[in-house]
Every structure is written in C-alpha cells, then in structure tokens.
A = this chain, B = another copy of it.
Amino acid sequence: MLAAVVSGGFTLLRGSVGLATATAVPTPPLPSHVAMPVLCRARPRHQRWPNGNMLRPSAGFISHLAVDTSSATRVLRACTPSPIAPHGRAEEDFNRSTPPHTTTNKESQQAKARREARFDEEGEYRVFRELLEGKKTRFVSRVMYDGTNYKGFQFQGNDLPTVQGVLEKALSTRFQTYVPVVAAGRTDTGVHSIGQAVHFDLPNANEDLSQLAYSMNQMMPEDVRVWNMSVAPPSSPSQVEKGWPWSSMLNARGKRYSYRLFVGSVLSPLDRLYRVHASQAAGSPINVDLLHQTIPKLVGKHDFAGFSNEVDKRATLKMEDGLGEFNTVRTVYSAEVINEGGGNIRLDFHLDGALYRMVRNMVGALLAVAAGRLEPEVIDEIFATRVRDSRLIHAAPAHGLTLDTVLYDGYG
C-alpha cells in the first residue's frame, strides 16, 4: 500500500511497503537538494553485515519518500535495478551515533530509508559492488566549514541547513544525480572544521578534480569549502580481503581537535564566533595553571563513557542493529594547553576517535576544575565510575570547537 501526499513542492510517499518496492527517479536538473531519492524495499530477513554480524530481522518497512513533484509520476514502478538509482552508504551503520531506530519521527524514517537504499535487488551492497566492478570511483576531499550557520554536519532534511546537505546539493547539481557524501565523523551544531574528510562515488570519467573542487566552491555558500580532492587511497589489506572499499570513516586512524578559549576580560567581537570566553563559560574566573595541571589526566587509553552523552541510547541502537557491543574505550594520544598570547588559549587534542560530545565534555570538566568548582581528581573518578555529574560539568559551548584534521594513511 502506497499513498502519495503532495507537500511543499515535494511529493511525500508514505507506505507500508512489505515486499512492494518503489524507485525514486529525480528528473534532471535537480530543483534542490533531493531528500529521499531512495530505492525502498523490505529489508531481507537475516541479512548479514559485511562484518559477519547478523542484521536484526525487520518485519516490514515504512518509509517516507520525498521526491521532486515534477517527477512524481515516475516514482512508482516495478523495482528493477536502475543505473541512476542512488547508491547507499554502508559506512553509516558503523557510525557510533546512528540515529534512533524508530519510525516515530520524520528524521529517523529518513535515516532508515537511507540505510535501506544500500541494498540492490539481491540484498547486496550496491555501492560495494559498483566500486568493485569498476563502474564507479571513490573520491576523497577535505572540507572546511564555519559551523555557525549549520545544524551540524549530518543531513537532517531539506529545511535544515547542514554541511552534508550543502555538499550533496553541489555534487548532485553538478552530476545531475543524487551523490551521497560520507564524512569521517559528524560534528555537532555550531562546531567548525578545517580538515573534515569526506568520500563520495562518481561514475568513472576523467574528472578534473581541481576543476570539480573549484566549481563546487563556486556553487556552495562561502562558509563551506572543499580542498585537496583526490581519488581515495586503496583499501587496507583487511578491507581488500573482505571486499570493502576505502572509507573516510573507517580508515580514519586519528583526529585532531582544538578548542579555543579566551581568559581575558572582554572577548574580541572578531573572535566571538570561534572562541569561548572561559570565565563566562565556567561561571567564575578560571586559573590557567589548573588547566595545565589537569589536562594530562585525559591522556591515555580510558573508558570515556562518562565524558559522552547518550551512551545508553547508542549502545541500544548498536545492539539492535546487530553490530555488537558499543565500545566506549578511546585513546587520547595527546592533550595540550597552547598559549596563543593576548589572553588566548588553545586546547589541542589528538585522539583515535571521539564519542558523542566527548571533546566538549572534556573541556567542560577542565573548565570546572580551572574555575575551582571541582578537584582535578574528578577526571579519574569519571574514568572509574563511567559517570560524570552533569550538574557540575557541562559540555563546553560548540563554537569553541574545531575539527582540525582527520588522519589517514595515504591521504594527507
């Protein structure tokens, strides 16, 4: 059963699909970022993930399809693999911050539908096959963005500004088909980046990548910029064995973040979008010496569950998705206080990967100590108990945080 509802320029298809299928075929030129040009089908029972885990069986599948109304008549048709049907994003499932696996809100239904879009007729990963068969090539690019005007990296529907939305719109306009963009990791609303990494797949052609980057930068607003675009490096030996392609997310071997603080009395308006007034954030004057003394406690391999948010929710999601246990152990390779002069201080973190809100919560804990509200030993306690007192330690404001770079072998 499928029902079509016209909604603000898009036709919203809502249906309990069962074994019925529908393919959304955007009519070029794309009128705007295409929300849901997905191949919908019932998830096969006992589907296997690439890592060998069993996928949670799904009785059926309810989805929204938002497609360009001008192509609405072409939406419903027999489900046959189509060369322009968009391919999916297997990597998303490995992201620890997978959206809620419910169908109670629009966002999660979109996420679910996007996830489903990975599969082709045979229940195989379309994207993997296309890359292995040499029909498409994977590209990697750095992305810089000022997070001020964005609801984070991840696409959340056409009406919310996101960096992924901006990138996918530019690529989809350029190639007249939906081109998914997968990032090394999501960043929250208001968080910046100068070295985010993304990958995307394009049909084989001799792309002039500097020209592609230039034309994307021309199409995008000034607060998002791509640079250092290249063909993705080869898969790692273990990936080759499994038939997996290189991934900006899975191949990341570390990340560097910086958090900018100001410890003077009046924060310069020219810094206000990228730097946090430390004593205002901490609620009282802060002692920089205490920052220096406390930050080394964060270095090392620890269970950072107490520095994250929504750990239980994410663990449940991961279990439900058959992806096994949610591992909250991370390694912070280094954490340093850099004096930038003029009351400006930068906290630099080099880590293997960050849990949701982890860096901002670490900075929040450091500020609580530096403001004299907590003893430095609170860091050890949070590691030991896996819990922090969220009344005393708040996540530091998003706009102080920048994802400086994602580290890879073979892509600098």
Residues of A within 8 A of B (CB): 144-146, 192, 194, 213, 217, 222-227, 265-270, 272-274, 402
Contacts and interface: CB of A to CB of B under 8 A. Distances in A.
Copies of this chain, whole number: 2
26 contacts: A144-B266, A144-B268, A144-B270, A145-B269, A146-B269, A146-B270, A146-B272, A192-B269, A192-B270, A194-B268, A194-B270, A213-B266, A222-B269, A223-B269, A223-B272, A224-B269, A225-B266, A225-B267, A225-B268, A225-B269, A226-B266, A227-B265, A227-B266, A270-B274, A270-B402, A273-B273
B194 A144 contact: no
Q: Which 3 A-B pairs have the closest CB atoms?
A: A146-B269, A223-B269, A227-B266
Given A225-B269, A270-B274, 5 more contacts: A144-B268, A146-B270, A224-B269, A225-B266, A227-B265
Contacts of A273: 273
A223 B217 CA distance: 28
Nearest to A145: B269
Contacts of A226: 266
Contacts of A194: 268, 270
- Most chain B CB within 10 A, of A222, A225, A226, is at A225
Contacts of A227: 265-266
A144 B268 CA distance: 6
Contacts of A223: 269, 272
Contacts of A272: 146, 222-223
A364 to B, nearest CB: 21
